[in-house]
Each structure stands twice: as structure tokens, then as C-alpha cells.
Structure 1
Amino acid sequence: MRRKQGSIDYKILITTIILIIIGSVMVFSASWPYATRIQNDPYHFVKKQIIFLIIGFVAMYITSKIDYKIYKQYAVILYILTICLSIIVLFTGDVETYSAKRWITIKSITIMPSDFLKLGTIFAISRYISSNYKKINTIAYGFVPMILFAAISGFLVYKQPDLSTTLVILALIVSMFIIAGIDMKYFTLAVLGIGAVGIIGIIGSKSIYSRSSRIEAWLDPLKDFSNTGWQLAQSLFAISYGGFFGVGIGKSRHKFSYLSEAHNDFIFAIICEELGFIGAMIIILLYIYLIYLGMKLAFSLKDVFAKFLVIGIMLLLGIQSFTNIAVALGLIPPTGLTLPFISYGGSSLIVYMTMIGIVLNVSRTVNRR
């Protein structure tokens, strides 16, 4: 059955907008004490976030109108461009945080190339799978290309260094190939490989942000409470303080110099404190519903490229969202990942809104089973 031209999936659009609205409110709530202290302007971060949102909505509108088939045509070029951007940051990146170079600043605009590399990787893998779908269960056309994609995309991000994003990209690549039908006996090898990369990365990284002390702080955040365990401990305190119903929007205590990334990586902890268990569960359910809608769309498609384009986007959204949430809850070691649509950050917000625009275009232009 052919879906009527011009009829986008409004459930996906509305769910995304709800998350964005929640994110805008929480960015302001979580950031104003810090913004007041460093900029003497409580609206500093939320004003920048609004600018990012405007750019994001423009990008989402444009990509919802562009025929998704163009990405298949230029997938290799787009992937190479994002690779080049990731190489450039290694040599010219001039914003350093936690001993890492991950950003490129052009005048007053700061971009994170790894966000664009995620999308470029999805384009490239979707095209590859669509061209080799019937041979993907072989070593030559399945396992080897998966390792090559993982090596190229993963290595560039790891060298920044950004171990958490590296592991997200590796998980994305392996998951896409598994869904495509790679021989499952290679799944164990892939998982062991990712695990080995993670362990080597943690031990070998020179970055303060990702060294093994982070594992120790995760296992016992109170052991080194004033140093490496501080952030996670404060996150857990904020979550427990929120209880079932929360203390109310704007009434968080832990955003006052306790959580240093309150409006960014640890915004979910502030959500739990202010909105409580109920508010946190609503947000988690919104993510689950959005991913469900995307996957339902993907598995109804005949076009293999379109199918894996949507699958890749939804996998990335799911992996990054639930990794961020798991970190805030202390379920996995601390990382430096944003919460899609909710955390403060230009590159992440714009790229994810762009990806939703692509999904919306797919929903309005393709044949379904």
C-alpha cells in the first residue's frame, strides 16, 4: 500500500516536539544559577538553546522535504565529509575540556564533529546494507565491513579522545549489522571486540575524563567523594531527593554548584529532582514511544535503504538516550553524552532534529508492505 504523498507521521513529530519543549524548560531551570554566576545573565544558556532550536527546526523542516533517496546517492560523500571534519578537530580543535579536543569553534559557533559523524555513519552503512543485503550473512560482506566501519568511525572519535561516544558508535554499527542479518556467531566476536576496545580505552586513555578512576568512582562514588566520585554522588543525591513527585520545577538544590553539568550531561538528575519519579518516567516513556514509532515505520518499509536509515536513527536515539539516563542513575560509569532533545548543546540538538526530519520524509514518501 502506498502512503498518501504529503502525509507525514504526526505522532513522531508531536512526540519529538514534546521532548524538545520539556528540554527547553529544563535547560533554563538547570542552567540559570550557573549562567548567573559565570555570565551574570540567568538566560544565557536558554537564549543560546533557543537559537539552536530555531536552526534545528529549520533543518528538520528542510530534511522533511528533501527526498531521502538523495542520501543514498551521496552517502559515501557525506560519510567522507564527516570523517574529514573528525580529522580536522584532531589538529585544529581549540576548545579543550577534560584534556580532550572534541570541538571546532568558528567565530562564536562551536560544533562537535562526532555528532555529524554518527549521521554520516548511518548514511554509509544504510547504503552498504541496501547494496549487499542478500550477502550480509557472509564474512566478506558482513563481518569484515562491520569491522571496517567500526575501525574508521570509532578510531577517529577515540583519538579526540571521547570513549563514551566511541562506544555508542560501535554499538550502533554492530546493532545495524545484526538487524541486517549478519551471522549471529560473529555477534559474540563483535561484543567481545567492543568490550576489549572499551577496556583498552579506559586503561590506555590519557584523558582525565575517561581513565580507570571513573570506573572506581562508579563502583563507589563516596570513596573519593570530593574528587572523581563527586558528580555521580551528587546525581544520585538529586534523584533520591526528588522522590515520587519531585520538589517542583525550578526548586532543585543540586543545580547550585553541586552538579557541574546540570544543564548538559546530568540534566536527567535535575529532572528527577524537580519532576520526581513520575516526571522521569514520562520522559522515558516518550523516548520509548518515539523509538517504537520509528521502528514500526522502518519494519513496514520495502526500500531497504529507507528501512536501515530509520533503524539507524532510532538505534542511535535509543542507545544515546538510555546511556545518558543510565549514567545519571549510576547504572554504568560516567560518560560525556547529552540527552537527545533535552540537554543543552547545539550540535547534538541540531543533528537529532535533522534526523527526525529525515524520518518524517521517509514516512511520507515510501512504499509500505
Structure 2
Amino acid sequence: MEQPPRERGYDKTLIAAIFALLVTGLVILYSTSAYNGQVKFQDAFYYLKKQGFATILGIFCMYAVAHVDYHLWKKLAVPGYLVALVLSTLVLLVGNEYNGSKRWLSFGPLSFQPSEYAKVAVIVFLAYLVTRNIKKMGKLTSLFLVLVSILPIVGLVGTNNLSTAIIILGIAMILIFISSPKYMQFVWMCVLGAGMMGIFLALESYRLERIAIWKNPEKYEKGYQTLQGLYAIGSGGLFGRGFGASVQKLGFLPEAQNDMIFSIICEELGLVGTILILVLFLVIIWRFYVIASSCRDLFGTMLVSGTMAHLMIQLVLNVAVVTNSIPNTGITLPFISYGGTSVMFLLIEMGVVLSVSNLIK
């Protein structure tokens, strides 16, 4: 008879790495956003205060979720996924537009991005689906059904937020790979996913334009942000210009506190400082791997693996975009880029992982 999981204690290394990254992120955000905040809102602390509030709220959420038995989320997986579909549909109908994209829903004075909630909902839903069908995961039809089940949310989110759609699809592919004993089936699923993504890109001309800008950013007006970001990275050198000494954040690099904040990190802290920050991410990912490997409960393993996939994909994509290794997809750097909804739901995911770490058999 299977014994219930026992409390082992929360992963202290993971907690320390998370808080170190949060504090580092807030300091970097202030350095990056102070100029824009002063110019636009006459308040150098404008972005820091909003991000700080979201971070504190997210820490409370992380604490609460960490104290909940993660098996509870199995019961809420399907309803949670349906809520994500409803919210993503509402964004298309009544969402608030910012910089040409409808990504926000407002409830009175509060606004948030449902796409960030969708990432969490998809991780829980896929963990539930894989656990329920684990004996059939060796069949191509089962893998196909799992992938098809998340296509509605991919389509809805991808209409105005291609980067999040890519992340959701990537999470699904990684969980399918982990759960499937046959590699060739995974290869076919990757080919199918790539084909679907190609069709999706071709549906809108602006998506194909991004590829052209990626190849030759200097030939297009929209390539300005990419070029300025590369200038910032190149000027940082080995040790950087020094904290707060960035030139590009002074109006040259548009919205430096958002998607392109990694380039300011490179400019101010140089290669050495950038590597140290990336090491913090690697420590978190390493602890995810240890927790997922130690958990004998499949649902818990899938939850941690999905969270690990999310963090890895988003980190790699952001760095790749900023360095112009891939076309610009408008993706944020986890825990560091400005975005209250993003940091709050990331911390909720951290709470789920800590809950699993506390109940390892």
C-alpha cells in the first residue's frame, strides 16, 4: 500500500536563490528604470514601487501555496485550465491595449495579464493529464491528444502574445518528452509542432517581418531597439561601466526596464556580473532537477518539471532575443524585467515547487 508523502522540509538552497534573485532583480530594475520613471512620471521610484508591491504580494502567495498539499491542484487542474481559456478569450474581446497588443484585463484599479496565469494553469493541467494517462504515453495517439488539449490556449494566447504561446508549447513538448518512453514519437511531435508554428507565423505579415528584422536589423526602423541593445552589451566589456552608469538606458534603448533589461545588465555589470546573475538562475534550475528526481510521486515530478521547463525556456529565449540570436518575441527576463503579473505568478510557481520539496517521500 502506497504511503502518504512525509514532510521533509522546504528546500533552503532554492529559497535562498529565489530571494537572492528577487533582491538583485529589484536593484537592477531601479538602476534601469529610474531615468524613465523620472521623465515619464516625475518619480524615479515609480517602476520600483510597483514591482516591489507585486513582489511582496507574490512572496505572500508563494508562502501560502507552499503550505498547501500539492495534490490539491490535481482536483483543480481542469477548472483552472477552463478559467485560463475564459480569461484569454476575454482579453481578445475587452482587453486593454498597450503598445499595439491586447494583453491586459482590468478589474477596477487592478490590471493583470491572463497569459501569465495561463502558464501556471497549463503546467498543472498537463501534469494532471500526463499522470492520468501515464500507461498510455508510449502511444503516439496519446501524445497527440495531450498536445491537442493545449492548442486552444496556445491559439488564444498566441493571437496577441506569441512569446507566451511559444513558452506554453515548449512546456508541453518537454513534459511529453519526460513522460514518453519512446524518443521517435517525440521527434514526430516536434516536427508537427514546428509545422504548426510555421503556419501560425505565416498568418500575420508582421510576424514574418520580425524575421527580416532579425536578419538585418540595421535596414529597418524597428531594428533600432535590437541595435541599441547590442551596443549596450558590447560596451559593457568584462567588468561593465559600473552600477547605474549605463548610457543606453538614458532614452536610447526604448523601454529598457522591460524585455531588454538583460542588455543593461551586460552594460553595467559586464560579462562577470552577468555570469553571476545567470548562476543564480542555474542554481534554481539545479534545485528543480533535484526535487523532481527525488519525488516518487509522478504528479509532483511533472509539476516541478513543468516549472523548470517554463523558467529555462523563458530565460533562454530572453537572452537569445537580446543578443539577436533569434527574432524578437517580446519576452521578459524572469524575476528581473518589469512586470508585476509575471513576478507574482512566477512566485506562485515557486510555491508549488516548495510544496513538492516539503512532501518528498
If the TM-score is normalised by the length of the shorter chain, which range does it land in? over 0.9
Deviations 1:100-134 (A, max 9, x none): 21111223322111111111011111011111112
Instruction: Report the number of matched residues.
Output: 359
Question: How far apart in 2 are the matches of 1:141 and 1:56?
Answer: 36
- Which residue of structure 2 lines up, in the alignment, with residue 231 of structure 1? 225
Aligned with 1:105: secondary structure? strand
Question: How far apart in 1 are the matches of 2:152 and 2:296?
Answer: 29
In angstroms, what is the RMSD of aligned CA positions?
1.7
- Which residue of structure 2 lines up, in the alignment, with residue 82 of structure 1? 84
Which amino acid is the alignment partner of residue 313 of structure 1?
A: T
- Which residue of structure 2 lines up, in the alignment, with residue 17 of structure 1? 19
Aligned with 1:229: secondary structure? helix
Q: TM-score, normalised by structure 2?
A: 0.95
Q: Is the 8 A contact 2:62 2:347 kept in 1?
A: yes
Q: Is the 8 A contact 2:180 2:186 kept in 1?
A: no
Aligned with 2:86: secondary structure? helix
Question: How far apart in 2 are the matches of 1:140 and 1:277?
Answer: 46
Q: Is the 8 A contact 1:163 1:198 kept in 2?
A: no
Matches within 5 A, 1:98-109: 99-109=100-110
Aligned with 1:95: secondary structure? strand
Which amino acid is the alignment partner of residue 108 of structure 1?
A: P
Question: How far apart in 2 are the matches of 1:321 and 1:128?
Answer: 26
Question: How far apart in 2 are the matches of 1:66 and 1:260?
Answer: 41
CA shift at 1:3, angstroms?
8.1
CA shift at 1:2, angstroms?
9.3
Is there any run of 5+ residues in structure 1 with no aligned partner, and where? none
Which amino acid is the alignment partner of residue 155 of structure 1?
A: G
CA shift at 1:4, angstroms?
6.3
- Rate the CA distance shift 1:217–1:337 in 2: closer, same or farther, 3 A: same
Question: How far apart in 2 are the matches of 1:62 and 1:260?
Answer: 37
Regions of 4+ moved over 3 Å: 1-4
1:307 to 301, 304, 309: 301
Deviations 1:235-278 (A, max 9, x none): 10000000000111111000111211211111100000001001
1:156 aligns with 2:156: yes
Is there any run of 5+ residues in structure 2 with no aligned partner, and where? none
Q: TM-score, normalised by structure 1?
A: 0.93
- Which residue of structure 2 lines up, in the alignment, with residue 283 of structure 1? 277
Aligned with 1:228: secondary structure? helix
1:362 aligns with 2:356: yes
Aligned with 2:294: secondary structure? coil
- Which residue of structure 2 lines up, in the alignment, with residue 250 of structure 1? 244
Same amino acid, percent of matched pairs: 33
- Which residue of structure 1 lines up, in the alignment, with residue 218 of structure 2? 222
Deviations 1:122-178 (A, max 9, x none): 1111011111112111123222222332x122111112x211211111111011111
- Which residue of structure 1 lines up, in the alignment, with residue 317 of structure 2? 323
Aligned with 1:290: secondary structure? helix
Which amino acid is the alignment partner of residue 212 of structure 1?
A: L
Deviations 1:204-260 (A, max 9, x none): 226x5xx22211111122222xx1110110110000000000111111000111211
Which amino acid is the alignment partner of residue 148 of structure 2?
A: I
